[in-house]
Structure 1
Amino acid sequence: MQTTISNESITFIMTDASLQEKILEGLNEYQQANLTFHVVHTHEEIRSCLELQQKEAKKYSSQQSKYIWVIDERDQKLAKDILSFGQASIIAKESSCLIKSMDQAIKHYPCLDLPFQKDILETVYRNNKPKKIEDLTLSLASYKEFNQTEKDIIYYLLQGKTAEQIAEQTYNSVHTINNNIVKIKRKLKVKSKIEIITHFVKQKRA
């Protein structure tokens, strides 16, 4: 059964043109969405797509507009560049479960595939690292809007843990962790895990 998705624009940006057919075959439930595909090879093409993404994000502010990048997992710098331009989901084209990753990238938008999470989150945390992690965890007690599970997840995010690692540490499923991260983002009015980390680091420094 197909899912009806009204006014949703999903743009796939890839470094490998052969992936388009595979994506179309695997994501049947999104066939009624406005799907667009771009293939980029050079730095100039990538830059143009990033600038277009930035413009389109404003143009489609009243709609659901999602950007899914499918890139080489070794290209960590490109992943950082993408996120510096605006929110997007980033998937490793080498993923053994590419279609499942694509589905997650749309449903939990914006999100980072596992190969990109550790490096990016560690970079953000390293650049904003407070003197004592313990002080940050204690400060969560004043956030009455979060339940204990959400506070635990925030604590692990501040340590640079991925959703998979948090699931293992807290004996929960990755699905449960991702759902709670969505709730945390909604309560903080932010759009990504990186913004969650930045929010609490700034609170600590204030």
Structure 2
Amino acid sequence: MAGFSYLFKNRAVFPFASYAHIKAWAKRFQTLPELIRRNRRRSRLVKKGACIDERAEIGQVKAGGNKKNLKIGAYTFIGQVEFSLHDQIVIGENVCVNDGVLFLTASHDLKDPEWKHVKSPIIIEDYAWICTNSIILPGVHIGRGAVVGAGAVVSKNVGDYEIVAGNPAQVLTKKRTEKLEYNPCSFLAANRAWLIG
């Protein structure tokens, strides 16, 4: 969402020199450095081959491996996370990935005497929420609107709107609402300064 052109076109407009106008522009200038940093992070990954929508927000990401294996959709927020890009990681739209999450797309075959390297993609569907310090293991598919609780270790697929927690991650009895319309990027101060004022 931090694309400058998007924010400028969709900015909140107030009467010139009014209190609201001055307050909005003060917030915009105050949060501008963070907005610039997030745009630079996204641009660096894209230059290295990643496919990241310009409306996605990228925190301080460690991305080891082939950057071409990373795809992130619109209005997705990625905090301070680590990607192991031995295989594809595809993250949909309106996804929230909190700080400390680790995505692993490769491991070793414990049954192989030569301990061969095995890899498998990770797919995260729209509106999923991956909470702080979770670990997503190779081959996992996380469904639309699913929630992965803080510190969970996910080794199996998570269905649409399911909530999982624990190590290993277990499905909780309750499900998330299926009517999801939020944009996790809209909660960031730098974006709110432009869109709300």
What TM-score do you get using the length of structure 2 for normalisation?
0.28
Task: Give the structure with the larger helix fraction.
Answer: 1
Task: Give the structure with the larger strand fraction.
Answer: 2
